[in-house]
Amino acid sequence: MRSHLLNDATAESYRLSVTEGVDRVANRLARTRQPFSGVTPDELAPVISAVDLDQPLGDTSAALDELEQVYLRDAVYFHHPRYLGHLNCPVVIPAVLGEAVLSAVNSSLDTWDQSAGGTLIERRLIDWTAQRIGLGEAADGVFTSGGTQSNLQALLLARQEAKTTDLERLRIFSSECSHFSVQKSATLLGLGPEAVVSVPVDRDKRMQTFFLAAELERCAREGLVPMAIVATAGTTDFGSIDPLPEIAELAQQYSTWMHVDAAYGCGLLASPTRRHLLDGIERADSVTVDYHKSFFQPVSSSAVLVRDGATLSHATYHADYLNPRRTIEERIPNQVDKSLQTTRRFDALKLWMTLRVMGADGVGSLFDEVCDLAATGWEILAADPRYDVVVQPQLSTLVYRYIPEAVTSPTEIDRANLYARKALFASGEAVVAGTKVNGRQYLKFTLLNPETTADDIAAVLDLIAGHAEQYLGENLVRVS
Ligand SMILES: *Cc1c(COP(=O)(O)O)cnc(C)c1O
C-alpha cells in the first residue's frame, strides 16, 4: 500500500496516474455535446450504491473506468456554452494547473511552518485585491471557502466592533435581494430573529437608499444599534449593484460598518472597461470577493478583505501547539490568526497562476465579454414577443419568463415556465436557472461563459418556448 503514498520513490507513478486522469477528463471535455446527460437521482443512485467500498479495485485505470460511470458521464459541465444555470464559471487552465500543484504539495495555510511561501503568496494576493478595491494602507484579509464564509466573517467583525454587547438590539440592513448568507450569519452570530432589516429595491433591483435612511432613522429612534449595512455588488438573482457611494454616506453618518458583498461583482475589479461600476466600494469596512464566480477559478476560491487589518484580531485565538502568543512578537506570519478555519487549502495559488499567466486584464476581459453578451441577450429577449424580461443587466444575468399568446391564468404561466425549466434540464440540452419575481415564476440565464454566443441564447429560448407550449397544449387538452 505504500506505493500509493506520494513521495520521492513514487514520483513516476504519480506522473502516470495523474496524467491518465487528466487524459480521461480531457477526452470527456472534448466529447461533451451538451451540458448534462439528463440523468435523474433515481437512475444514478443505484449505480453509486452498487459500488462496494470495501472491495478496492487496486488499480488506477479500473477506478477511472468506474469513475466514468459514477460521475464523469453524468456530471453537469459548466464549460459547455449552453450551461446557463447558476453562478458557476468555466475555469481557466492556469488555475486548474494551480489546483493540481496545491493538492500535490498540500500546504496548509494556517501557519507559516506548514506553508512558508504559500503564506506570502496568499498575502500578496490579498494586498493585490485590497489595492484594486482601494481599501488603503491598513487593509488586510484572508482567503475563505466561499462567499458564505466571507460574509459570516465580515459580520462577525462588525458585531465585535458594534457599540453594544446586547445582541437583541443589533440590526443589519441589507436589500431584499441580498444573499441568504446574511440571514444565516445573523443567526449563527446569535442575533435576534428581527436582526436583518430588509430594505426595498427599486425596479432595477438596487437598494433604495431612501428606505435605508428611513430604517436607520427608525433604528436610532427605537434605541436599537445599527451593526452593519450590507451592500450587494452583484445580486445573485439580477446582478444588480446597490448604490455604493450613497450607502457609504449613510454608513458614515450612522457610524455603521459597511460591508460590500461583491461575491459576484468582484470580476469588475479586473475589468478593463467596467471598474467604475464598483465606485464607492473603496469606502467599505469589509468586502467579500468570490474568485470562483467571476475570476474563472475552480471552487473554492474566495476572500474577505477589511479596511482595518487590526479588526481581524476578533478571529484570533492562540493554541500552544499551533500559534502561541510568542509567534506574534517573533513576527511569524500565521494566517490562522485571521481565519475562521484552521487547516486551510492554498486556494490562492490558483489565482496566482492565473495572474502570472494571463494577467488581470486577461481575466477581466473575459468577464467583460459575458457582460457584453448579457446586454445582447437582453435585446434579444426584449424584442421577442414570447418573453417578458425584467431588469436591464449591469452584470451578466438575465431574468425572463415565457408568456403565451393565448390568455392564460397567471398560475398556468408559472407552471409552464417551471415545466420548461425542468424539461430542458431533463433533456440535458441546456441548463437554465429559475427564480421568483413579485411571487411569479421566472427563468434565469447566468452568463459566465465567454464561449456562449447570441445564437446559443436564441436557440435556448426556442427550446424553452417549445417546452412551455407543449405544456400549455397538453394542459388545454386535459382541461377540455
Ligand atoms: C454566491 C453568493 C454568495 C455565497 O457565496 P458562496 O461562495 O456560494 O458561499 C454570497 N453573496 C452573493 C451575492 C452571492 O452571489
Tell me how many degrees the CA angle 273-145-308 measures, rounded to the nearest 5.
70
- For ligand 1, atom 3, the nearest C-alpha belongs to 147
Give residue-wise pLDDT tens across range 364-403. Answer: 999 999 999 999 999 999 999 999 999 999 999 999 999 9
Give residue-wise pLDDT tens across range 188-221. Answer: 999 999 999 999 999 999 999 999 999 999 999 9
3-state secondary structure of 73: helix
Burial group, residue 337, by CB count within 10 angstroms (0-12, 13-18, 19+): buried
Using the predicted structure, report yes or no on whether residue 479 has a pLDDT greater than 60. no
3-state secondary structure of 189: coil
What pLDDT sits at residue 478?
A: 56
Band (71; pLDDT cuts 50, 70, 90): very high
* 330 compared with 236, residue with greater pLDDT: 236
- For ligand 1, atom 4, the nearest C-alpha belongs to 147
- For ligand 1, atom 6, the nearest C-alpha belongs to 147
Strand ranges across the sheet with 397-402: 83-84, 431-437, 440-446, 397-402, 387-390
Q: Is 290 in the pocket of ligand 1 (CB under 6 A)?
A: yes
Tell me how many degrees the CA angle 277-282-284 measures, rounded to the nearest 5.
110
pTM as predicted: 0.97
* For the CA of 181, the nearest atom of ligand 1: 10
Least confident of 170-184, 265-279, 319-333, 460-474: 319-333
The domain ranges of the chain are 2-77, 108-357, 361-479
- 264 Cα to the center of ligand 1, angstroms: 7
- 263 Cα to the center of ligand 1, angstroms: 5
Nearest to 143 by CA among 119, 163, 177, 174: 119
Q: Is 181 in the pocket of ligand 1 (CB under 6 A)?
A: yes
Alpha-carbon distances of 195 from 99, 153, 170, 192, rounded to whole Å: 39, 17, 6, 5
Q: Is 263 in the pocket of ligand 1 (CB under 6 A)?
A: yes
Give residue-wise pLDDT tens across range 20-39. Answer: 999 999 999 999 999 999 99
Q: Which residue has the cell 489546483?
A: 99
Mean per-residue pLDDT, 248-268: 98
The DSSP bridge pattern shows strands 170-175 and 196-199 to be parallel
What pLDDT sits at residue 329?
A: 87
Mean per-residue pLDDT, 325-347: 93
Q: Is 148 in the pocket of ligand 1 (CB under 6 A)?
A: yes
Band (480; pLDDT cuts 50, 70, 90): very low
Alpha-carbon distances of 434 from 91, 96, 182, 355, 411, rounded to whole Å: 23, 29, 21, 33, 16
Using the predicted structure, report yes or no on whether residue 18 has a pLDDT greater than 70. yes
Q: Is 226 in the pocket of ligand 1 (CB under 6 A)?
A: no
d(CA 201, CA 199): 7
Q: What is the mean pLDDT of the chain?
A: 96
Q: Is 177 in the pocket of ligand 1 (CB under 6 A)?
A: no
* 475 compared with 174, residue with greater pLDDT: 174
d(CA 447, CA 368): 11
Q: Is 264 in the pocket of ligand 1 (CB under 6 A)?
A: yes
- Third-level CATH fold of 2-77: PLP-dependent transferase-like (1.20.1650)
Q: Partners of 174 in the beta sheet?
A: 198, 230
- Grid coordinates belonging to 266: 468582484
Q: Is 242 in the pocket of ligand 1 (CB under 6 A)?
A: no
Give residue-wise pLDDT tens across range 398-422. Answer: 999 999 988 789 999 999 999 999 9
Share of the chain above pLDDT 90, in %: 93
Counted residue by residue, the chain has a size of 480
Cβ pair 170, 227 in contact under 8 A: yes
- 47 Cα to the center of ligand 1, angstroms: 32
Share of the chain above pLDDT 70, in %: 99
Using the predicted structure, report yes or no on whether residue 183 has a pLDDT greater than 80. yes
C-alpha of 355 from chain center: 19
Using the predicted structure, report yes or no on whether residue 464 has a pLDDT greater than 60. yes
Give residue-wise pLDDT tens across range 125-155. Answer: 999 999 999 999 999 999 999 999 999 999 9
Q: Is 303 in the pocket of ligand 1 (CB under 6 A)?
A: no
Mean per-residue pLDDT, 179-189: 98
- Third-level CATH fold of 361-479: Aspartate Aminotransferase, domain 1 (3.90.1150)
Q: Is 337 in the pocket of ligand 1 (CB under 6 A)?
A: no
Angle subtended by helix axes 93-105 and 348-357, to nearest 10 = 140
d(CA 229, CA 171): 9
* For the CA of 151, the nearest atom of ligand 1: 10
Q: Is 236 in the pocket of ligand 1 (CB under 6 A)?
A: yes
Main-chain phi, psi angles of 135, to 5 degrees: -80, -10
d(CA 351, CA 98): 8
- 181 Cα to the center of ligand 1, angstroms: 8
What pLDDT sits at residue 405?
A: 87
- Grid coordinates belonging to 37: 446527460
- 87 Cα to the center of ligand 1, angstroms: 9
Is CATH 3.90.1010.10 correct for 108-357?
no
Q: Is 349 in the pocket of ligand 1 (CB under 6 A)?
A: no
Alpha-carbon distances of 427 from 40, 102, 424, rounded to whole Å: 11, 37, 5
* For the CA of 87, the nearest atom of ligand 1: 1
d(CA 382, CA 385): 8
Q: Is 297 in the pocket of ligand 1 (CB under 6 A)?
A: no
- 458 Cα to the center of ligand 1, angstroms: 28
Q: Is 130 in the pocket of ligand 1 (CB under 6 A)?
A: no
Alpha-carbon distances of 391 from 128, 241, 398, rounded to whole Å: 33, 12, 8
- 185 Cα to the center of ligand 1, angstroms: 12
d(CA 397, CA 235): 9
Same fold flag, 108-357 and 361-479? no
What pLDDT sits at residue 406?
A: 85
**DSSP states of 304-317 as a string?**
EEESSGGGGGGG--
